[in-house]
Amino acid sequence: MNLQQTEPSITRKDDSQEKQKRMIAGHFDRLACAQETGQKVVYTFVPGNLTELIGALGMLPVLPEINALQSGMRGKSAGYIAEAEKAGHSEDVCTYVKCDIGMLKSGNIGPTGTRLPPPDLLLLSYTGCFTFLKWFELLREEYKCPVVMLHVPYQPDGHITDEMRTYVVNQLRTEVIPTMERIAGRTLDEDVLKQWLDRSRLAEDDLVAVWESARHRPSPIDGYFGGVYYIGPIFSAFRGTDAAVDYYRSLRLEIEERIARGEGPMTPDGPATRERYRLVIEGPPNWTSFHDFWRMFSREGATVVASTYTRVGGLYDTGFRHDSARPLESLAEYCLGCYTNLGLPSRIALLERYIRDYQADGFIINSVKSCNSFSAGQLLILRELERRTGVPGGFIESDLVDPRYFGKANIENRLQSYLQMLDANLQRRSA
Amino acid sequence: MNTVHDTPGRSDDPAAPLLARAQTLVTDLSLSSVHAWKTQHPDGLIVGYMPIYIPRPLLEALGCLPVSLFGGGDQVDIIKGDSYFQSYICHIPRSTIELLQSHRYDVLDAVLFPSICDVIRNLSGMWKLLHPQQLAEYVDLPQNFSPDIGGRFYRLEMQRIASALTSRGARPLTDDALREACARENVRRAAIRDMDAIRARQPWRIAASEAYLIIRAGGVLDTVEHTELIRAFTAAVAERKPRIYDNVRVIVVGSFCEQPPIDLIRTLEKAGCDILDDDFQLGLRLIEGDIDTSPNQDPLSALAAAFIDHGAATASRYIADCEKGAALVHKVRTLGADGVIFAAASFCDPALLDQPMLEAALDRADIPYTAFKFSENTGQFQVIREQAGAFSDSVKLWGKVA
Ligand code: SF4
Ligand code: SF4
């Protein structure tokens, strides 16, 4: 998600990109001197992150998934994974976990080259992924620091019940917030939290406008490869900050300007010159060959108009917003609503909606070996979506940060054949 | 470590008929005993459930027969199931889908999916899509163990399940029926405890592979019938004439969901391991203690409290305050085991993510262990036999792994 540190090849830097880069650099600077400044550090996960609470209590978040993907992009993940496997971690499990543990065992050097501070608290927001639970049990063994667990129930039927919301709110009120206050050494000021939530809402409005811009032809954004840049601030350390409000406002304006100029999205090779295919993508990207992967699409004129991965840290385009009038309830609903916390039928319905709303010509599932949360059931998603929409789907397999599972030639071949088939389809339709 | 062992399946073995019955119940993928129950109880619902644990007394109180589903093991050829799952996902969901798509689960009125991992979780959604006529419910077991928070949520979750089943024709839930079902469960649990105690003290009297069959048979029986089977088996093994072997005493961990083939368990035994305890059939043993059935106690809260306060430590349960692995070390010490064998299903996230922490706890306690992975349809046991044999020899010789 926060890719800016490792982004060598986007040719024209927009104002928003420069902003994001400065935001991230500043955050890692603050982390680097957290032990001197006394600022407390909270490790937590992207889905269900409680950034507003962390921020309102003056603490700094660290997102281990983001460190892992950064390590993947910087070519470090293979070594880290090997380190973890040497220490006894199975080759079968999520590579984010192993990458993180390998990084820790290799000195915990973060993406900017500075050492990350150890956590003062592990905030286990258990949302949408079973591995999270194990991951922080493993980190607790390493850091011997306090952990607070927030169990977020699953949404099997695509709606939030009162029981679910109350369960999460009760945990926040009686366990999570008191523990955070103890670590932070101060009491939560509800007015301050409300201000954070109001700012979150502003940024969320602008992010949704960015997503919805992909309804235009050509789409001014790539909602997957480009989209992972757009979610950087809001899914990580910045939701609820002035900087995030400013970032999303700039991003939205830039995209509106692109629409006015009739421009397509940026790609690793510069602005896209044609929009041949409009695609929807399900599943996380591969990070170790991210730009190669992206080019496989962009060089064929394939633009991703919507994706589900960019909804793992919050599903705003179905209407959710943080709400200062109901602070804890809305935090609970945020956690409950993350994409991977939705039952398979709801995931299919969302993808179906994206295919229709964004007038996609096809959809691709990138199934990653690491992630049962995403991957188990994707072959049924493929069939169901084809059946419901009549739009053909493609299926490719890779991994997040383990380069052993990114078979470039194989993926390229599959994608080429899929796009050829799509071509034939499109020609038939226009004939 | 001088132990004695009986030969299972000998014609003069007084437990042989009981084991044969259990074996038939376990391997009968057509679920004929379940069909028979349905004929006898036309108004009752059959409720299947995936591993590990579901509050069975709740289902029995609703007049339902809970049926544990453990996939097809090594008995089914996977024809349809593989087209639903990528190669890097464990095997049990494939054989489960295979059985579902070949109509072997048509007898089920409802299926419950407890929250143990993302595969079972997503399988619940697949089931809803593939068989919408069956009620498929995900059961969110709490990971918060405060009675007022996690306990309260879980109580509501059970109420939700009860209402969903009642709307499908199950009997309405009453306190008395639930209290009685909990009492029956306590009796069964005591019978299992007694059997396990014999097995731990005198592993030559009850082999793990036998205990496995006897307990797993309970997955298709009602509580009373199962209790009778366990009690009859326990009585029968008391009559056995032991033979002496020099075996190593081990605990097997990691097979709480996808089940190893029975021949794999027997392979470990043949390799010289007395398995004093295991988590193969954890579901029926998960509650460590009695459910409170006193008349002044709300039985649904009591059932929730049993899980919150007395749920066994396992990979899918968050260990909040205790040291990871402490429960395993304690078990090794109490049972006087010599070591631990980790046997996880390939690609089983909970077991495999848990394992390094348990290994670390064993290292700290200087307890030897070995580890392998399996699949429910593993057919070759030679490598595992050699590994278990080498482990057993080295523990016997040096008290640790060489
Ligand atoms: S299993 Fe999937 S969702 Fe969970 S940590 Fe790994 S990549 Fe993330
Ligand atoms: S074997 Fe493990 S990963 Fe597979 S369904 Fe069972 S618990 Fe989940």
Q: Is the pLDDT of residue B91 over 90?
A: yes
pLDDT at position B94 is: 97
Beta bridge partner(s), residue A123: A44, A148
Answer yes or no: are the C-beta atoms of A313 and A227 closer than 8 Å.
Answer: no
Q: CA-nearest residue of chain B to A349?
A: B129
Q: Is the pLDDT of residue B80 over 90?
A: no
Structure tokens that stand for A324 in this block: 């200062």
pLDDT tens-digit series, residues A266-309: 999 999 999 999 999 999 999 999 999 999 999 999 999 999 99
Instruction: Mark A4-42 as b/e (b = at least 16 C-beta within 10 Å).
Output: bbbbeebeeebebbebbbebbeebbeebbebeeeebbbb
Q: Which of B50, B97, B101, B129 to mutate to test the interface with A (most CBs of A within 10 A)?
A: B129
Q: Is the pLDDT of residue B95 over 70?
A: yes
Most confident of A108-112, B198-202, B395-399: B198-202
* Cα distance between residue B355 and residue B178, in whole Å: 37
* Cα distance between residue A287 and residue A264, in whole Å: 23
The ligand with the least distance to the CA atom of A96 is: 1
Interacting residues of B17 by C-beta distance below 8 A, sequence separation 6+? none
pLDDT at position A10 is: 45
Give percent above pLDDT 90 in chain A. 93
Q: Across residues B175-186, what is the average pLDDT?
A: 98
* Cα distance between residue B274 and residue B255, in whole Å: 17
pLDDT at position A7 is: 46
Fill in the amino acid letter for A62. V
pLDDT at position A9 is: 42
How far CA A380 is from CA of A345, A347, A375, A376, A395, in Å, comes to: 10, 11, 10, 9, 11
B156 contact residues in A (CB cutoff 8 A): 163
Give the DSSP per-residue string, A85-122: HHTT--TTS-HHHHHHHHHHHTT-B-TTSSBPPPPSEE
How far CA A317 is from CA of A183, A213, A321, A325, A337, in Å, comes to: 34, 12, 9, 20, 11
Q: Does the Cβ of A96 fall within 6 Å of ligand 1? A: yes
Q: By mean pLDDT, which of A140-144, A189-193, A210-214 is the weakest?
A: A140-144
pLDDT tens-digit series, residues A3-28: 444 444 444 567 888 999 999 999 99
pLDDT at position A6 is: 46
pLDDT tens-digit series, residues B24-74: 999 999 999 999 999 999 999 999 999 999 999 999 999 999 999 999 999
Query: Nearest C-alpha to atom 3 of ligand 2 is from which residue?
Result: B348
Q: Does the Cβ of A289 fall within 6 Å of ligand 1? A: no
Q: Across residues B104-114, what is the average pLDDT?
A: 97
- Rounded to the nearest integer, the mean pLDDT of chain B is 94
Q: Across residues B180-191, what is the average pLDDT?
A: 98
Spatial CA neighbour of A335 closest among A53, A68, A134: A53
Interacting residues of B1 by C-beta distance below 8 A, sequence separation 6+? B246, B247, B248, B249, B338, B396
Structure tokens that stand for A276 in this block: 């041949």
pLDDT-derived band at B400 (thresholds 50, 70, 90) equals low
Q: Is the pLDDT of residue A163 over 90?
A: yes
* Cα distance between residue B84 and residue B250, in whole Å: 37
Q: By mean pLDDT, which of A163-172, B77-86, B261-270 is the weakest?
A: B77-86
pLDDT at position B397 is: 84
pLDDT at position B11 is: 66
Question: How many A-B residue pairs are in contact by the CB < 8 A criterion?
Answer: 154
* Cα distance between residue B354 and residue A2, in whole Å: 29
Q: Is the pLDDT of residue A1 over 60?
A: no
- Contact between chains at B144 and A131 (C-beta distance less than 8 A): no
Q: Is the pLDDT of residue A228 over 70?
A: yes
Structure tokens that stand for A19 in this block: 């902003």
Counting Cβ atoms within 10 Å, is residue B279 exposed (0-12), middle (13-18) or buried (19+)? buried
Please report, for chain A, the start and end positions of each structural domain, with discontinuous segments joined by +: 12-187
Q: Is the pLDDT of residue B170 over 70?
A: yes
Spatial CA neighbour of B23 closest among B208, B192, B210, B189: B210
- Contact between chains at A151 and B143 (C-beta distance less than 8 A): yes
- Contact between chains at B115 and A154 (C-beta distance less than 8 A): yes
Classify B117 in phi/psi space as left (phi over 0), alpha (psi -120 to 50) or beta. Answer: beta
Q: Does A345 touch chain B (CB under 8 A)?
A: yes
Q: By mean pLDDT, which of A6-20, A73-87, B133-147, B371-385 is the weakest?
A: A6-20
Spatial CA neighbour of B124 closest among A309, A93, B132, A368: B132
Interacting residues of B38 by C-beta distance below 8 A, sequence separation 6+? B44, B46, B65, B107
* Cα distance between residue A142 and residue A168, in whole Å: 28
Strand B244-246 relative to strand B2-4, pairing: antiparallel
Q: Is the pLDDT of residue B401 over 70?
A: no
Fill in the amino acid letter for A416. Q
- The structural architecture, per CATH, of the domain A12-187 is 3-Layer(aba) Sandwich (3.40)
pLDDT at position A2 is: 47
- Rounded to the nearest integer, the mean pLDDT of chain A is 95
Q: CA-nearest residue of chain A to B157?
A: A163
Q: Is the pLDDT of residue B370 over 90?
A: yes
Contacts 24+ apart (CB under 8 A), A187-190: A188/A53, A188/A56, A188/A57, A189/A56, A190/A327
pLDDT tens-digit series, residues A392-404: 999 999 999 999 9
How far CA A152 is from CA of A336, A340, A345, B270, B348, in Å, comes to: 6, 12, 19, 45, 22
Structure tokens that stand for A364 in this block: 């691709």
* Cα distance between residue A177 and residue A42, in whole Å: 13
The ligand with the least distance to the CA atom of B119 is: 2
pLDDT tens-digit series, residues A29-73: 999 999 999 999 999 999 999 999 999 999 999 999 999 999 999
